[in-house]
Structure formats: C-alpha cells, structure tokens
Copies of this chain bind each other. A is one copy, B any other.
C-alpha cells in the first residue's frame, strides 16, 4: 500500500504533531537526533489528563521500548525536569524554565507587557499579546481589565488562530500556499452563529485584514466578545506577533473599536517596534 506522506514542513504546522509522525516521514535525516526528539516528546505527554507516567505508560505514549522510556525518564529525573514518586513520574517545576526561556529571550514581549498595562489602565479593558504557532495563537502577555466581566486568558493559553483577531492579523503575513495549507489542516468549528467556517471566506477575510492593517472579531469566538488586533513588527518589518484589546460587545461598539481604540493600539505597536 502506498501512502502519500505529508511534507515535513506541513507536518510542523500541527502543534499536536507527535514526534512519531515526524519520524515516520519518508525523508531520511542523518542529522536528526531521535533521542532528543523522544525525550522532548515524553515531556509533552504530561497534561491535565496525564499528570503522572510510569515507564510502561511513557513507552506506550511515544511508541518506544520500555528500556528507552526508562532511560529517558531517568535522564529527565537526573536533570531535575521530572520528579519520581515510587514508580510514578511527574513533571518538576524546572520544566517551566524551558518555556520561560522563550519569553525571556524575546525582548519585545516584556516591552509589550509594560505598554499594554499602561493602555489597559487608560481604557479599562483587557489587552493581550500573542504569537502565531501553526494554526493556533499562544498568549505571551495578558493584562486583565479592571472590570468584573473580563477576558481571562493566561500566558501559554492556545486559541484557534483563524477565529481570533490576534490570529487573523498574523495569518495575513503568510504566503498564499502556506496559508491554504494551514487553512486545510484544521476542521473549522462554529463557536457562535457568527463564526466564519468557510475556507474561502476565511482566506478573503485574512487578506482584507492584512490590507487594512488590523482585524476585528465580532462575537465569532464567544458571544459578547469583540476583539481588535494589530500586528507587531520588528525593525526589518518581520512579524513578531500581535497585540489586541478585548471588549464586552454590549458595552463597546465595533465603530468605537475602530475610531477610538485602533489609533491607541497602533501607537503601542509602533512603540514596541521602536524598542526592538
């Protein structure tokens, strides 16, 4: 049976893509360190549903022998990334370090956090920064609004890129073929009656958002939630991420977002770029 394997570059778009799929790819790669890949893969097996792993469970989860799983967990334990309790292994707080390295190595994120805090205090609404990762956005900064009904995303939270202002405004920076590949790689769900799930419709909206330099999501992801996002660029006009303001739809109109908040959000984006 001949199976058409996806290109390794397309595979990478899947944030949930397992190392097993990657290694099953037909491309021979002598430079690829399978042991490193399997070790990182074991870390990503842990989540809310799998807080602890035995050697046997780890072996089954990533498709390696018990001996290999044992050596991986032993190594991660020696390095302080996992804790051992009898035959059970769980992630240690040191694993947080690995993620924190990303946040601390991206100087624009700290700057964005400070500037968004000032903006959020001025307008009394929540403000966020996120980066695009495959077909999702990952929050890297968030300032909750002072109001009671506020959006509560936290750093590291994932949301579908195609249905968030933060995502759409970044997707427009991709080449057409790349954008189509990502559009096709996910099943687009209706979150509300306003969610755009038609692929051509999403493609066109992303292009027009790119042209106008901002994206507005009007109750497409959640009833009562409106968001405005603009891209954050580096000095070389490379895309770093995006920043947004989220408001309660019953309180703030789409027009108000465009006329009052858009100039303020753009000023923050320019200020971030200037600091890079």
Contact stretch, chosen from A74-82, A222-230, A263-271: A74-82
Query: Does A71 count as interface, using CB distance less than 8 angstroms?
Result: yes
Which of A31, A32, A96, A110 gathers most chain B CB within 10 Å?
A: A96
A101 at the interface (CB under 8 A from B): yes
Stretch binding the partner chain, chosen from A36-44, A242-250, A252-260? A36-44
Question: How long is the Cα–Cα vector from A96 to B74 in the complex, in angstroms?
Answer: 23
Q: Residue A99 at the B interface, CB < 8 A?
A: yes
Type the 1/0 row for A44-81, where 1 means its CB is closer than 8 Å to any CB of B.
Answer: 10111011000000000000000000111011101111
User: Which of A85-93, A171-179, A185-193 lies at the interface?
Assistant: A85-93
Judging by beta carbons under 8 Å apart, are B50 and A105 in contact?
Answer: yes
Q: What's the minimum C-beta distance from A151 to chain B, rounded to whole angstroms? A: 14
Q: Chain B residues with Cβ under 8 A from A70's Cβ?
A: 31
A46 → chain B closest CB, angstroms: 4
Residues of B within 8 A of A37 (CB): 75, 78-79
Determine if B44 and A97 form an interchain contact, defined as CB atoms under 8 angstroms apart: yes
Q: For the complex, count residues of A whose C-beta is within 8 A of B.
A: 62
On whether the beta carbons of B102 and A96 are closer than 8 Å, the reply is yes
Q: Any chain B CB within 8 A of the CB of A94?
A: yes
Q: Does A26 contact B (CB under 8 A)?
A: no
Compute how far the CA of A15 lies from the CA of B97 in the bound complex, rounded to whole angstroms: 9
- Given the known interface contacts A39-B33, A72-B33, the answer about A97 and B94 at a Cβ–Cβ threshold of 8 Å is no
Do A75 and B106 contact each other (CB < 8 Å), given the known contacts A96-B138, A133-B92?
Answer: no
Contact with B along A182-222 (1 / 0, CB 8 A): 00000000000000000000000000000000000000000
Q: Is the CB of B71 within 8 A of A138?
A: no
- The reply to whether B46 and A102 form a contact with Cβ atoms under 8 Å apart is yes
Residues from 2 to 48 in A contacting B, C-beta threshold 8 Å:
8, 12, 15, 17, 19, 22, 29, 31-33, 35-40, 43-44, 46-48
Closest 10 CB pairs of A and B: A99-B99, A36-B39, A98-B98, A100-B156, A95-B102, A46-B105, A33-B75, A51-B105, A96-B99, A35-B35
20 contacts between A and B (CB under 8 A): A15-B80, A15-B94, A31-B74, A32-B71, A33-B72, A36-B75, A40-B40, A48-B110, A51-B106, A80-B134, A90-B105, A91-B101, A92-B102, A92-B133, A93-B102, A93-B131, A95-B102, A97-B156, A98-B99, A103-B156
